[in-house]
Structure formats: structure tokens, C-alpha cells
Amino acid sequence: MPRLPQLTPYRRLFGLPGARAFTAGNLIARLPMGMFSVSAVVMIAGTRGSYALAGAVTATGLAATAVVAPWTARLVDRHGQARVALPATVIAVLGSLALLLCVRHGAPDWTLFASYAATATTPNTGGMSRARWAYLLAGDAKALHTANSFEQAADEFCFMLGPVLAAFLCGVFFPEAGTLVGAVLLLAGMLLFTTRRATEPPVRAHIPAKAPLRAPGMPPLLTVCLAMGAVFGSTEVVTLAFADRQGHRSAAGAVLALQAAGSCAAGLLYGGAKPAGPAASRLPWCVAAMTALLTLPLLAAALTGSLPLLAVALLIAGVATAPTMVTTMTLVQQRTPEGRLNEGMTLAVTGLLGGIACGSALGGWTVEHVSAAAGYGVPVTAAAVALAVALALSLALSPRGVSNRFTDQRTPH
């Protein structure tokens, strides 16, 4: 049987000493990221009978994460992954367990908000993994491209499998099962990840005073992340509403999983391809493809009203997601000052989370006041905004544009 050329770079990648071990731990720790929100909603709504309360609690946790996560990442950069990530994870796990106990024993509502807010100390597991690849693959841009593509595919896989696993655990066993299993997986995975010290990036004696947020090109990159998050948040809410109004609410998860599956497959294939040109030049093309493909769900919903056709359209639209996110995260790595990579990556994730919250709200408003089909215009609009910013960024980072003095020399163009 002939070898698949797309898989060869991954064989080389995981042939590096220690790569498989830290990746296994990171994936175990990352899977709960797709579980906690769904588990909390099912657990709280199932016992308190209020989706409004469940939504408010999870929104509070999201807001707390947006504030706390960059500070946690800064501590990781200054003191190392093992010294900071593990204690931060213990605090987050205790918050999850406190939420579980408060729900189970009927504690006042305010205790749910306080408990879930404590989970904001959860470290950015994906960012720490990308930081290890950047350290191991210093100076090898092609291999780093493959590593970033794998990490994006892993994100998609975890957010595809996590909600399904959470719903299964909460439905088959007891309402708190999803949160309990997620907390155990997070702690076990982080223990395995942080004890693999040989691949951990060394702590620099002098951390650059220049914050990643002030590095040239970073503000527009974070704006792209914000718009991308709006795409994800609005698509999820609108798809749930569309399926519900078609009388197939239970199928919404499978439809969204198809979109994630398309992105996951595209990410792995993109990692096996040789990137053409600088990341700043590739980004507008990736976002343009994403914008164009996102019109397919809009057309499928508006013209046919068919859930199966919508599922196919979302699967195709998902193909452009991973290449866009890989290219965006590559640029974030390049623009972040050396020694502050975890902070830079976490800022990007914070932008995504903020965008998801805004997109969810705008998508929900459109569904409520216009129609579910019209709601698919929100992700198209958000992607168009990302495209405009990406084009401006590409011009600014061109040889005639902004100086590239903060480019990470470990990941050359």
C-alpha cells in the first residue's frame, strides 16, 4: 500500500524525543475544555430547572476566564509551565468540584457563580503545547507549520468530542457526571503534561518588558481572532435554533460536529502541505475562502430549509476553518516577543472567547427578531470583517509596511 505523503511530516514530528508523551497529556487535559460548558448547563438546568441561570453561570465563567487567563499565561512565561500550570489547574478543579457539590446539595445560586468563576485559572493547554513545539522546532518553519496544524486539528477534535461525551455522561449516569469526569481528566492530563520536563521551554532570565499586546501587528491580529470567535459563536447558536425550529433539536449536536470534523480533517491535510509564502500573505486568502464557504449554510437554510443539506453545507464550510486558524496562530507566534509566547497565545484565545460571546448574543438576537435562516448571515458578516482586517494587516506587514522587529526568530517566514 503506498504511503500517504500528508502523513509523513507527522511521523517526523512525533519521532522527536518526548513529543508523544507531552502530547498525550495535553490532549487528555484539553478534552474537558469541550465538556465543562455543556456539563454545567445540563447539570444546572436539570436540577434547578432554569436555562437562564445555567447560561448566566457559564457566561460568568467565560468573563472571568477572559480576565484571568492572560495573567495565568504571564506567570507561566515567567516561572515555567510545571511551577504555574499545575497549581492553577488544582484551583480550577476545586472550583469545578465546588460547583458540583453546590448544585447537588441545593446551595444558593450565588455559590454557583462563585464556584464556576474559580475555574478561570485553567491554563491554556493548547498554548502551552504550541510553546513546546516552538521550542523543539526552533528554526524549522515547515515543521512548526505541521505542529500548529496538528494542534488546531486537536482543538477541533476536542471541541467535537467533548460536548458529545459530556451529554452522554450526564444523560446516562447522573447530571454531575460530566463535570466530575472533566475535572478528573483535566487534573490527570495536566499531571502527565507538566511532569514531562525535558520538552518544557526553559524560563528566560530576562522577560521582555514589551507586552505582546503592544507588539506591531498584534492588535489587528486579535481583532481577527475576535471576529473569528463571532463566527463560531453565532454559528453554534443559529444552528441550535434552526434545528429546534425544524423539530430536530437533538440532531443539532451532530450537525455542529460535522462542521468540526471538516475543520479537523482540513487541519491535518494543511499540516502536510508546504505553506506558500509568508503567513501574513496567506491569511487574507484563508479568510476569503472561509467567508465564501460560509455563504453555503446561509443559502442552504434560506433556500431549502433542509437540515440534511445544511449539515452538508456546514461540513464544507468547516474545511476553511482550520487553515485560517493555523495561519492566524502562526502570525501570533511570530509577532509575540520571545519569552512571552504563552501570554501571546492566551491573548488570542481570549479574543476568540470574547468573539464567541458576542457572536452568540448577536446570533440569538437575529434568530429571535428575524429568522433562524437569516441568522446565518451573522457568521458571514463576521468573516467579512475578519477579511477586511486581514487585508489591512497583510499590507502593514509587507516589506514596505510595518517593521518586523518583533518577529520570533525561531519561526521565520
HSE-CB of 67 using CA atoms within 13 angstroms: 8
Taking a C-beta distance cutoff of 8 angstroms, is the pair 351, 232 a contact?
Answer: no
- Of residues 213 and 93, more confidently modeled: 93
pLDDT attached to residue 206: 61
Predicted confidence at residue 89, as pLDDT, reads 92
Average pLDDT, the chain: 80
- Return d(Cα 171, Cα 225) in angstroms, integer: 34
> What pLDDT, in 10s, does the model give residues 187-231?
999 999 988 888 888 776 566 556 666 777 788 888 998 998 888
Q: How confident is the model at residue 283 (pLDDT cuts 50, 70, 90)?
A: confident
Average pLDDT over every residue of 293-316? 90
CB 128 within 8 A of CB 27: no
Residues 6+ positions from 365 with CB-CB distance below 8 Å:
none
Give, in degrees to the nearest 5, the angle at Cα 196 between 195 and 197: 90
User: Around Cβ 27, how many Cβ atoms within 10 Å?
Assistant: 19
- What is the CB neighbour count within 10 angstroms for residue 180? 18
Q: Is the pLDDT of residue 237 over 80?
A: no
SS (H, E, C) the chain: CCCCHHHHHHHHHCCCCCHHHHHHHHHHHHHHHHCHHHHHHHHHHHHHCCHHHHHHHHHHHHHHHHHHHHHHHHHHHHHCHHHHHHHHHHHHHHHHHHHHHHHHCCCCHHHHHHHHHHHHHCCCHHHHHHHHHHHHCCCCHHHHHHHHHHHHHHHHHHHHHHHHHHHHHHHHCCCCHHHHHHHHHHHHHHHHHHCCHHHCCCCCCCCCCCCHHHCCCHHHHHHHHHHHHHHHHHHHHHHHHHHHHCCCHHHHHHHHHHHHHHHHHHHHHHHHCCCCCCHHHHHHHHHHHHHHHCHHHHHHHHHHCCHHHHHHHHHHHHHHHHHHHHHHHHHHHHHCCCCCHHHHHHHHHHHHHHHHHHHHHHHHHHHHHCCCCHHHHHHHHHHHHHHHHHHHHHHHCCCCCCCCCCCCCCCCC
Alpha-carbon span 186 to 47, nearest angstrom: 24
Would you state the pLDDT for residue 399? Answer: 53
Q: Spell out the long-range contacts of 99-102 with Cβ–Cβ below 8 A and sequence spacing 24 or more.
A: 99/40, 99/43, 99/179, 100/43, 100/176, 100/179, 100/180, 100/183
pLDDT band for 411, please (50, 70, 90 cuts).
very low
pLDDT at 406: 36
The predicted pLDDT at position 98 comes to: 92
Question: What are the two backbone dihedrals, phi and then psi, of residue 55, each rounded to the nearest 5 degrees?
Answer: -65, -40
CA distances from 4 to 14, 130, 146, 384 (A): 16, 25, 15, 35
Among residues 155, 413, 408, 412, the alpha carbon closest in space to that of 282 is found at 413
Q: Looking at the predicted structure, is the pLDDT value of residue 27 above 60?
A: yes
Please tell me the predicted confidence (pLDDT) of residue 295.
94
Map out the domains of the chain with their CATH numbers: 19-203 (1.20.1250.20), 210-407 (1.20.1250.20)
What confidence score (pLDDT) does residue 125 get?
Answer: 85
Distances (CA, A) of 143 to 2, 160, 334: 23, 26, 15
Residues 6 or more apart whose Cβ sits within 8 Å of residue 153: 263, 264, 265, 267, 268, 271, 322
Against a cut of 0.85, is the pTM above it?
no
- Tens digit of each residue's pLDDT (9 = 90 or more) over 347-386: 888 888 788 778 877 887 888 788 888 889 999 999 999 9
> Residue 407 pLDDT > 60, yes or no?
no
Q: Report how far Cα 336 is from the mean position of its chain's Cα atoms.
A: 18
Could you tell me the three cell numbers for 108?
A: 444558593
Looking up cell 486537536 gives: 154
Position with higher pLDDT, 278 vs 308: 308
In this predicted structure, the answer to whether residue 71 has a pLDDT above a threshold of 50 is yes
Closest CA to 333 of 137, 196, 199: 137
What is the predicted pLDDT for the residue at 56?
77
**What confidence score (pLDDT) does residue 297 get?**
92
Q: For 308-355, what is each residue's pLDDT tens digit? A: 899 899 989 988 888 888 888 888 877 877 767 777 778 888 888 788
pLDDT at 83 over 50: yes
> In sequence order, what are the residues at sequence separation of 6 or more whose Cβ sits closer than 8 angstroms to the Cβ of residue 124?
69, 72, 73, 342, 345, 346, 349
Tell me the three cell numbers of residue 217: 501587528
